[in-house]
Amino acid sequence: MNHEIFARRKTVRAAEGPGPAVERDASGTWHVRDYALARAILRGDSTRQAGFKAELVAQVDTIQNQPILFLEGPAHHQQRRQTARFFTPRAVGSNYRALMEHLSDELIGKLRQHGRADLSELSMTLAVRVAAEVVGLTNSRLPGMDRRLDAFFASAPGQTSRLRMILDTVRNQSVMFAFFMLDVKPAIQARRSAPREDVISHRIGQGYSEPEILTECVTYGAAGMATTREFICAAAWHMLEQPALRQRYLAAGEDERYAILHEILRAEPVVGNLKRRATADIPLEQAGVTIPQGALINLHIAAINADEELVGEHAEHVCPGRALAADNASPAVMSFGDGAHRCPGAYVAIQESDIFLQRLLAIETLRMERAPTLTWNELVTGYELRDFAVVV
């Protein structure tokens, strides 16, 4: 292990500290913090999605074709095979690298011109425009799709009064309507006339309705935009505070740069929890327990990613060159999930982040004027980094 560069993780809530490998709380929810147990659950076929409002979407009568994020079993495997062509390393490199480079150059040029910027805004612009190209949201009637998408992930206030719930419902419906009319519907109309190599065109070809395509855009596209935005900020935060890590990253070849980014993502998973619902009894022989059918399962990703049996010592620190005990473990451990529902856009996110960060961190005069404000988003159970002031 390389002890030369250490930095403790920055984004994990205090409540997500060490805990039992598996336990059942008073409400009946099972909490898992062990890598091997979590992998067995995610790679098995005895659970279904329960996070990201999956169980709410499943109750909507007008949605006959569920978003790929919420499908299970053969239907999910079929959809993953059909859409895999958009997300292979070769496809990402040939179809989107030039766009990522152009957008990154444009954003870095604006930073140089103005002398300062909010990095969270730059990363949002980049993430939205790249994901929009992959999904097919490229025909908006008005600018501002990034703001409309950002509204989906605005954390709801802690109040739970009836009035608050009514107001939140109205707000959510208005946000969804604006996104549909200004961004999704124009994209559908354009692709019915001239299909392209993107997700919306693919769904039109499968006979998806407009509400179904809208739901797919929210779950498939918007979630990826939000998570990539946060990771770029987290990676920049680490490297701006650690000159040695920054220089190592800039001097490295692509494989080593990707390894550094994966290690930062392991320590700073953007999605902090994955929720599953057991569709059958799940015996966990290693732990001597059985999770019963119907139980809610909460996989604590930050804790799983810091499982010392897998990642070794200093598990809560960024340590490039870390060797993992399991041969087939992802270098980011479970930050992209695992099993059938592993994030399909993982390579998009890493390549996009790398292209932008190379250009950003190569500015010799770049420094962090103010560390970002850290908050928590309950919908994706992940961190949000805002007001990240950088100057050149």
Host domain of residue 177 = 7-391
Query: Looking at residues 143-161, what average pLDDT do you find?
Result: 69
- pLDDT at residue 377, rounded to an integer: 84
Q: Tell me the C-alpha to C-alpha distance, in Å, between residue 333 and each of 74, 169, 265, 310.
A: 25, 36, 9, 9
Does residue 358 register a pLDDT over 70?
yes
Confidence of residue 62 (pLDDT cuts 50, 70, 90): low
* pLDDT tens figures, 233-271: 999 999 999 999 999 999 999 999 999 999 999 999 999
Using the CB atoms, write b or e for 139-161: b if 16+ within 10 Å: bbeeeebbebbbbbbeeeeeeee
- pLDDT at residue 162, rounded to an integer: 59
Does residue 155 register a pLDDT over 80?
no
Residue 1 within a domain:
no
- pLDDT at residue 66, rounded to an integer: 66
* Residue/partner pairs of 285-293 with CB below 8 Å, 24 or more apart: 286/34, 286/36, 286/37, 286/40, 287/21, 287/22, 287/34, 287/37, 289/22, 289/24, 291/30, 291/41
Closest CA to 218 of 388, 368, 380: 380
Residue 319 within a domain:
yes
Residue 36 within a domain:
yes
Does residue 141 register a pLDDT over 80?
yes
Confidence of residue 165 (pLDDT cuts 50, 70, 90): low
- pLDDT at residue 158, rounded to an integer: 47
Query: Looking at residues 185-212, what average pLDDT do you find?
Result: 94
Which residues make beta-bridge pairs with 118?
389
Confidence of residue 302 (pLDDT cuts 50, 70, 90): very high
Name which of 74-83, 203-212, 261-270 the model is least confident about: 74-83
Name which of 69-78, 107-116, 227-236, 272-281 the model is least confident about: 69-78
Closest CA to 302 of 38, 43, 45: 38
Helix axes 89-114, 119-135, angle to 10 degrees: 150
How far is it, in rounded angstroms, from Cα 268 to Cα 335? 8
- pLDDT at residue 157, rounded to an integer: 46
- pLDDT at residue 340, rounded to an integer: 83
Give the chain's mean pLDDT.
Answer: 88
Token pair in block for residue 188 = 């559908």
* pLDDT tens figures, 127-140: 999 999 999 999 99
Does residue 54 register a pLDDT over 60?
no
Confidence of residue 211 (pLDDT cuts 50, 70, 90): confident
**Higher confidence at residue 376 or residue 260?**
260
Cα dihedral sign, 315-318-319-320: positive
- pLDDT at residue 237, rounded to an integer: 97
Confidence of residue 55 (pLDDT cuts 50, 70, 90): very low
Total domains in the chain come to 1
CATH number of the domain within which 350 lies: 1.10.630.10
- pLDDT at residue 14, rounded to an integer: 63
- pLDDT at residue 309, rounded to an integer: 95
Separate counts of helices (H) and strands (E) for the chain: 16, 14
- pLDDT at residue 68, rounded to an integer: 67
* pLDDT tens figures, 303-348: 999 999 999 999 999 999 899 999 889 999 999 999 888 888 899 9
**Higher confidence at residue 83 or residue 23?**
23
Tally Cβ neighbours within 10 Å of residue 74: 8
Token pair in block for residue 261 = 């980014």
Work out the percent of the chain whose per-residue pLDDT is above 90.
65
